[in-house]
Each structure stands twice: as structure tokens, then as C-alpha cells.
A and B are shown apart, each in its own frame.
Chain A
């Protein structure tokens, strides 16, 4: 329920862990990391699609509605690598796809 996957896809799906910044956790009314069922290939686009399907209140907050692009002050990290500028259709590291490592979504640090 809520993942949007059919029975076959669910059987193949991995549990991907996503760490959201503070304000987006509040917006989604969750604590801690999010676990999402994502059918392979596990790409950034697939994970964000699954995240927005599960938490519709996050639509537009990570990817711009108009362009679909990552918001300028957000960054994506996985396995200590910066994925912010990677193709959204590139496969994420195997450790992320297996749920052993989280996909980190971080806000740029700024004062004020």
C-alpha cells in the first residue's frame, strides 16, 4: 500500500533508506529515516518518485515542480559520495539499493 508497485515489482523491490533534513521530516510528520520499497534499478529518480508517492506533502520540496531539477540548496549523498550532480537515472551504490547505507538529502548550511 502506498508504494505504487505491483506484486511482481514488490517481490523484487529493495528497502531503501532515506535520511531527510529536519524540516522535511516535520513536513512528512515522521521521525528518523524513511524506508521505501523501490524496484530495481534503484536510481535517484526512482527513490525520489517512491518518496513523493509515499509522502505527497514532499512533492516540490526536493525537486522543483516546473523543471524537475534538484532544488539549488539541497544535496544528495550516498556512501560518502556526492550524487547531487549525477544523472537522476544513474544507479545508486549497491549498499544504498540494499538498504545498508542511507541516501542522504541535506540542506545547504547557512546562517540567519
Chain B
């Protein structure tokens, strides 16, 4: 029988929640890396026992951890856990994210006051394992750049064509920093990757990461000097259905958007949502036109409207939305759901999961009709990913 493993990154450690395919009874393990910020952890589809973790700290910087046994044990890639390391310098530098300074100009980006500011590595926001090779993994970092490892996270190289895009010097941070937070790998065309940056916008490569183009046409952001600018939009998250990679759904700062041509053009599909501000967005595993968002009141008040936590579902690819409330708090709920904190499983009856800044992780085993909390009192949830184990 299939089982489900939910990987939860929080403000103070990582947790692994497991259940059988019924998704009623859950076992909670963790905290792993207790006291550290776990921005994201995600398992490899090519080898579900392989899990990569972004472990970060304001004091001690960035670390990458890896499990090769489904989350039972962890290590920094290439660094054995034995007490005495082998002689000689280490060949693995799993927490070294060095910007490529050999390429052009790659020196500065726009700062909050409009001046130019040097690129400075701060942390890994998002980890995206390859769909086919457990040793290949991508990392989206702040200040915005895309890195790739082909040796299981032991060493990282920047795909500098992204940051070296001609618009790079105009990229500026959102309130949370200049983070590359979304990486979507195209399962049909392995040369195609989508990424998104707050607050530069969305980009696409069609040559495996060598060159990139902004894909923000149709986005409109009234709060920036040119509302229709090529770059500068605060994209919060982008989702796709695996079988239909040319169709993208985006939760922008405000507005839920849709593209049917791989991001070349976008149109708004916010429709009847009570507010189209939010962070998380995802697509049903088996229904490419069914998508989910969690509306948040506004950019000034990061919590649900009227204290009622609601997931909204559209079965029409947007525009027509229905609230999903059964099992979710009806009052006095003032949490947020962050951009990487929603995921779906691929069981026949698609399961939907999301975590809140209040430490709850909610699950629905029936595509959103009914919700139950798996856990209620974790630290603030930063990310949720799901592995379906056969």
C-alpha cells in the first residue's frame, strides 16, 4: 500500500510526518536540526530516500544537509559523520555558494534606495532535485541566483546566465529580500526551467540554464513605477501540472495569473476570490485545471479575512473559485501561509497539504473537501513538501 511522507521546514527545525495511504493516522518525527531555520527540504523523485535540506542561521550561515534513508539520518554531503576526517583538504564544500565572478558584469543589483548594491549570498530559499538523477539538484538563493550540484550537493556551481541577464542590475529585493524562491523543472522538455524571484519576476531557460528570458508580459503591478515593466514584479509563487508544463499558474503579490504559452503571456484569473493577495498556489495532481490558493487579506495584513482560514479551489483553471472551509478554523485565525508551504500528493484521491505560520499543518485526503490538522503546534512553518511512496 502506498504511504505519504510530508516534509515540513520550520523556523526552528525540520519535521517528517508519515502516514499510510488513508492519511488518517500520522507519525511525527523531529525536530531535525533543532533551532535552525529550515527554509526548504525536498525529496528526489528519482530516489525517494534522497532528501535535500536547506539549513540556515543568522549566526552560522548556510548549510546543506542530505538524507539517503528517507529522513532517518542526515549528513552534510561529502562530509562523513565520523569523528576524525581523512587527511588532506576536503573535496566537498557543500555549504559554499560562490557567485560566478568570471562572467560579465554580475557585480551589483538595485538596492531599496535605487542605488547599486553588491550581490551578497545570504541563504538558500528553495531546493529542487532533478526529476531523473538523484545527484543533480538545484538551489535558489538570496541574493537571487540559481545554483546546481551534480554530485549530490557536495559542490555547487552557479548558472550565471540568469544573474548575468541584461536586466540583472535592475533587480531589486522585496521586503523579504532578493530571493529566488521558485524552480519548476519541465518533465517533458529537460532543457526548460522556470524560476521566479522576488521582486524581479519570472524567467525561463530553454537551453538547460545557459540563457534566460523574462516571462512577465501581462503582469500588471500598479505599485511599481511602470506597472507593465519587463521586470520588477513581485511574483510570490508559480505552479504547474507535470503533464502540461506549458500551462503555468502564478500567485503574484496581488493577482492570481495564468499562462497557456510557457509564460510568454499572462492573464488574470483572480475572478471571484475575496482577495487575490496571497503566497501559496498549487495544482491538483490529476486534474490540470484544478488549482488551489489561500487568500490573504492584504500586503499590509498577512492573515485570512475575518479570521476565517479558507483554501479556495478552482476547477476551471481560474476565475471561478469556491471556498473550502470544512475542518479549517472558522474564527480568530490570524496566521499566514507562505509561498512554499503548500503541496499535493499523487494518490488516486489527491491529497492537499499546507502549513501555517502558527505551526499547524493541515491535510485533506479528498482534494480539499475536508481538512484535518496533522499537527497544531510546530514552530512557524516555512515550507511543506510531500512524497508519495509506493
Q: Which residues of A contact B (CB under 8 A)?
A: 1-2, 4, 21-24, 27, 29, 53-57, 59-62, 64-66, 71, 73-74, 107-108, 110
New A-B contacts (9) at CB < 8 Å, excluding given A4-B87, A23-B60, A108-B59 = A23-B57, A57-B63, A59-B93, A60-B61, A60-B62, A65-B93, A65-B96, A65-B98, A66-B121
| Complex partner residue of B76 from A4, A57, A110, CB under 8 angstroms | A57
Q: Are the C-beta atoms of A71 and B61 separated by less than 8 Å? A: yes
Residues of A with C-beta under 8 A to B35: 22-23
Residues of B with C-beta under 8 A to A107: 59-60
| Complex partner residue of A60 from B59, B81, B95, CB under 8 angstroms | B95
**Cα distance, A59 to B94, chains bound together (Å):** 9
Q: Are the C-beta atoms of A59 and B60 separated by less than 8 Å? A: no
Q: Are the C-beta atoms of A65 and B95 separated by less than 8 Å? A: yes
Nearest Cβ distance between residue A33 and chain B, in whole angstroms? Answer: 15
Nearest Cβ distance between residue A29 and chain B, in whole angstroms? Answer: 7
**Cα distance, A65 to B79, chains bound together (Å):** 16
Residues of B with C-beta under 8 A to A57: 63, 76, 79
**Cα distance, A1 to B57, chains bound together (Å):** 31
Q: Quick check: is B1 within 8 A (CB to CB) of the other chain?
A: no
Nearest Cβ distance between residue A26 and chain B, in whole angstroms? Answer: 8
Q: Are the C-beta atoms of B90 and A56 separated by less than 8 Å? A: yes
Residues of B with C-beta under 8 A to A1: 84, 87
A-B contact pairs, 25 of them (CB 8 A): A1-B87, A2-B87, A4-B87, A21-B59, A22-B35, A23-B36, A23-B57, A24-B60, A29-B83, A54-B84, A56-B85, A56-B92, A57-B79, A59-B93, A60-B63, A60-B95, A60-B96, A61-B63, A61-B95, A66-B98, A71-B59, A74-B59, A74-B60, A107-B59, A110-B58
Whose C-beta in chain A lies nearest to the C-beta of B83? A29
Q: Which of B60, B90, B93, B95 has the most CB of A within 10 A?
A: B60
- Interface membership of chain B positions 15-58, coded 1 if the CB is closer than 8 angstroms to chain A and 0 otherwise: 00000000000000000000110000000000000000000011
| Total residue contacts A-B, CB cutoff 8 A | 65
Nearest Cβ distance between residue B220 and chain A, in whole angstroms? Answer: 37
Residues of A with C-beta under 8 A to B57: 23
| Complex partner residue of B59 from A2, A23, A59, A65, CB under 8 angstroms | A23
| Complex partner residue of A61 from B61, B87, B97, B121, CB under 8 angstroms | B61
**Cα distance, A24 to B35, chains bound together (Å):** 11
Residues of B with C-beta under 8 A to A2: 84-85, 87
Q: Are the C-beta atoms of B60 and A61 separated by less than 8 Å? A: yes
Pairs A-B, 8 closest by C-beta atoms = A61-B60, A56-B90, A73-B59, A107-B59, A60-B95, A2-B84, A65-B96, A57-B79
Q: Which of A59, A62, A64 has the most CB of B within 10 A?
A: A59
**Cα distance, A74 to B61, chains bound together (Å):** 11
Residues of B with C-beta under 8 A to A64: 61
Residues of B with C-beta under 8 A to A71: 59-61
Whose C-beta in chain A lies nearest to the C-beta of B121? A66
Q: Are the C-beta atoms of B87 and A56 separated by less than 8 Å? A: no
**Cα distance, A64 to B121, chains bound together (Å):** 10
Whose C-beta in chain B lies nearest to the C-beta of A63? B61
Residues of A with C-beta under 8 A to B89: 53
Residues of A with C-beta under 8 A to B59: 21, 23, 71, 73-74, 107-108
Nearest Cβ distance between residue A88 and chain B, in whole angstroms? Answer: 18
Nearest Cβ distance between residue A91 and chain B, in whole angstroms? Answer: 25
Residues of A with C-beta under 8 A to B92: 56
**Cα distance, A61 to B83, chains bound together (Å):** 18
Whose C-beta in chain B lies nearest to the C-beta of A3? B87
